[in-house]
């Protein structure tokens, strides 16, 4: 852990899942940005979203990197948003990066 960094609202660690309900979306979805970044299905291409459809802009063009979104504790403020995307090598383990488990209602 890096010392002298005020991560996690002063706790210097990630927050437990759903522990900040005031940050929920209008749909009640929590933890979309800023705690741990999230691997997503897309391949990563820096210019994909500028030329993709606005609805479900899945990038299926094979590339060496996959997309990671949402930013994490050590991310700059501009990257701590659900729409932020960066590339990551799927063969590398990154601290503060995981995946979202979902289930049908």
Looking at the domain assignment, is residue 78 inside a domain?
A: yes
What is the extent of the structural domain holding 84?
A: 38-105
Looking at the domain assignment, is residue 12 inside a domain?
A: no
- Dist. CA 31–CA 43, nearest whole Å: 22
Looking at the domain assignment, is residue 14 inside a domain?
A: no
Q: Report how far apart, in Å, the C-alpha atoms of 20 and of each of 28, 42, 55, 89 are.
A: 12, 28, 28, 30
- Dist. CA 28–CA 55, nearest whole Å: 21
Q: Containing H/E element for 48?
A: helix 48-51
Residue, of 7 and 37, whose pLDDT is higher: 37
pLDDT value at 64 more than 50: yes
Number of neighbouring beta carbons within 10 Å of residue 93 = 6
Residue 14 in tokens: 């990630």
Looking at the domain assignment, is residue 20 inside a domain?
A: no
pLDDT value at 92 more than 90: yes
Looking at the domain assignment, is residue 11 inside a domain?
A: no
Global pTM?
0.69
Query: Based on the structure, what is the number of domains in the chain?
Result: 1
pLDDT at 36: 87
Residue, of 5 and 74, whose pLDDT is higher: 74
Q: What is the pLDDT of residues 30-62, one digit of tens each?
A: 887 788 899 988 888 877 777 777 777 777 788
């Amino acid at each position: 852990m890096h010392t002298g960094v005020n991560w996690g609202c002063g706790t210097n660690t990630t927050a437990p899942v759903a522990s900040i309900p005031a940050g929920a979306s209008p749909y009640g979805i929590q933890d979309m940005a800023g705690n741990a970044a999230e691997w997503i299905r897309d391949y990563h291409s820096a210019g994909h979203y500028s030329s993709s459809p606005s609805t479900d802009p899945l990038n299926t063009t094979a590339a060496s990197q996959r997309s990671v979104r949402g930013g994490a504790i050590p991310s700059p403020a501009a990257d701590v948003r659900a729409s932020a995307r960066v590339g990551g090598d799927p063969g590398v383990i990154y601290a503060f990066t995981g995946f979202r488990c979902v289930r049908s209602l």
